[in-house]
Chain A
Amino acid sequence: MTGVLAVLEQFEGKLHGMSYEALAAAQQIGAELGQPVYAAVAGAGLQQVAAAVAAYRLDKVHVVEHGLLADYTADAYTAALKQLIELHRPAYVIFPHTYQVRDFAPALAASLGRVLVSDVIAHRVENGALTLVRQLFQGKMNADVRFEGDGPHFASVQAGAFRSENAIKAESGGSATEVVTPVLEASRIRTKPLERFRESQRAVDLTAAERIVSVGRGIREVGNIALIEQLAEAMGAELAASRPICDNGWLPMERQVGSSGQTVAPKLYVAVGISGAIQHLVGMKGSKTIVAINKDPEAPIFEAADYGIVGDLFQVVPALIEALKK
């Protein structure tokens, strides 16, 4: 059992952005362990995707082709990748921690009697042994995790933990590809995916805003949102929010920032009463200057912030509005 296999995600012939991060992770871990590095991509009609993957330095690209993989289902993906893994027996299997991977990778690992180490943020190799770091308590704690016993060992990597630009390209001619056709039966696919759809037209385009003031659950009540509105006005900023605020209907969905909302990169992003969960961070960490106002000095948002005030927002925000008038 040897090698590090990156299982990449594609949709309609295009690689998911986080696929390159998983590729970079597999290449780094492979190099440090002194093991070959492979990639696999599953779907139907994959010529273009296969060529895109083969442009990277890999010992082999497995192109898992089947008509029943055209529309994603957990059953078909689990069955197809299980066959690939049993055939090639990689020591490590690395996924990007996407919504799709959340949906099938835990079952795939379990079907082989293994546990996926999900949402990994860092790794290190000591004496040939791999240690993975993942977050607990919504980013308030880290944990070191190790694999026990024989592979295959499964891990998924968090958005942004590995940088896609670190993925190494193949020297010339590209890496070797091999098409594999799994044995799949339509009758074994129990779920039936229907059309994908979007809900609301976005009336507010947060991506165009130069400054954003964003409010989180620290605001406690819908009535208090007005305070943050005043701050936004004083800063000449658009108002945005974390997910729970929009879930509660306190602000419309279109003002949500994060992995299930908008991705923004303004000159200034002010996070008020937001803890800084990864799903929020991915939506705003590209901002040029980040300010955090939070009463908890250990809140993960401070790790992303350039400037921070530890304190009660109900005292800090009024003072800030005053100071901005001067």
Chain B
Amino acid sequence: MKIVVAIKQVPARDSLLKVDKSGTWIEDADLSWEINEPDAYALEAGLQLRESAGGEVVVLCAGPDRATQTIREALAKGADRAIHIEMSHGASDPLALARTMAKALETEKPDVVLTGLQSDDLGYGQTGVVLAEVMGYPHATLVMSVETVSGGIRVKRELEDGWFQHVEMPLPALLTIQSGAAKLRYATLMGIKKAKSKEIRRVEAETASAAPSVRLERIYLPQKTKRSQIFEGTPQETARQLVEKLRFEARVI
């Protein structure tokens, strides 16, 4: 089974973000970067699927040079090889990106494509679904687990309000993976060593052919609209003030 896992590099979770001069992106020169969290679960699901069904795991990543680090980490965890679509930061729209990704996968003909369900930076939550549409694959989103059955796969989807649903579909198929469904593995020393010699195929992103249908005008820190009372001082002082407010103003303790 050929399994492609699409991963993205995003700013580390605790980054302090500032808008850059263009006003449409963040100052990203001094940030540290990590794999998008749901994508880490997609990679885990891909590696587990390979363990049960055999085949290979190919990592697909669109991003600038620095994304090589995230690709190497995925290879160190056990992916067999990688495709790196070289492009500047990931602010392109999901349709343009999906077309580029589909192009890069043309010769691969994967049986299963896995993505995270959304990215922690742009948060479109669409790239996987749009990629399925572009590639003509059936898809399922918010997937918690995958098993092979005769004629294809059976997945467990998360629904709202604590409900779940099993869905069956033929292969090839695309799945977007929800965080938290499995325990993530760590890279072993051996894995890290091996990763150095694994293949990374680099492809250039095409310049978009179709005119985009949406445009990001500007980004900005959200204005504070609610007037919350923020306490300052030593932990003891702030704690005392808060307890007083909760007792005598809000009267909730």
- Interface residues of A, Cβ cutoff 8 Å to B: 74-75, 78, 98-99, 102-104, 106-107, 109-111, 113-119, 131, 134-149, 153, 190-199, 211, 235-236, 243-244, 246-248, 259-261, 267-268, 288-289, 291-292, 296-298, 300, 302-312, 315-316, 318-320, 322-324, 326
Contact = CB atoms under 8 A, between A and B. Distances in A.
Chain A facing B: main interface SS: mixed
Nearest to A304: B226
Contact of A289 (B98, B221, B246): B246
B140 A191 contact: yes
A260 B236 CA distance: 36
Q: Majority SS of interface residues in chain B?
A: mixed
A115 B167 contact: no
B215 interface: yes
Contacts of A244: 179-180
B186 interface: no
Q: Which of A135, A195, A320 has the most CB of B within 10 A?
A: A320
Interface in B145-196: 158-160, 162-170, 179-181
A116 B98 CA distance: 13
Contacts of B11: 137
Contacts of B120: 137-138
A256 B212 CA distance: 39
Contacts of A75: 138
A297 B162 CA distance: 32
Contacts of B239: 309, 316, 319-320, 322-323
Contacts of A198: 162-164
Contacts of A136: 121-123, 219
B221 A141 contact: yes
Contacts, number: 256
A109 B170 CA distance: 24
What 6 A-B pairs are tightest by C-beta distance, nearest first?
A247-B180, A190-B138, A106-B126, A319-B239, A319-B235, A268-B252
Contacts of B139: 74, 103, 107, 191
Most buried by B among A103, A117, A211: A103
17 contacts: A106-B130, A115-B212, A115-B213, A118-B125, A118-B126, A140-B17, A144-B219, A194-B165, A288-B250, A288-B252, A305-B228, A308-B231, A309-B238, A310-B230, A320-B242, A323-B240, A323-B242
Nearest to B220: A142
Contacts of B245: 307
A110 B214 contact: no
B16 interface: yes
A140 B15 CA distance: 10
Contacts of A267: 252
B26 interface: yes
B29 interface: no
A302 B14 contact: no
Nearest to B164: A197
Contacts of B168: 191-192, 194
Interface string B38-51: 00000000000000
Contacts of A288: 250, 252
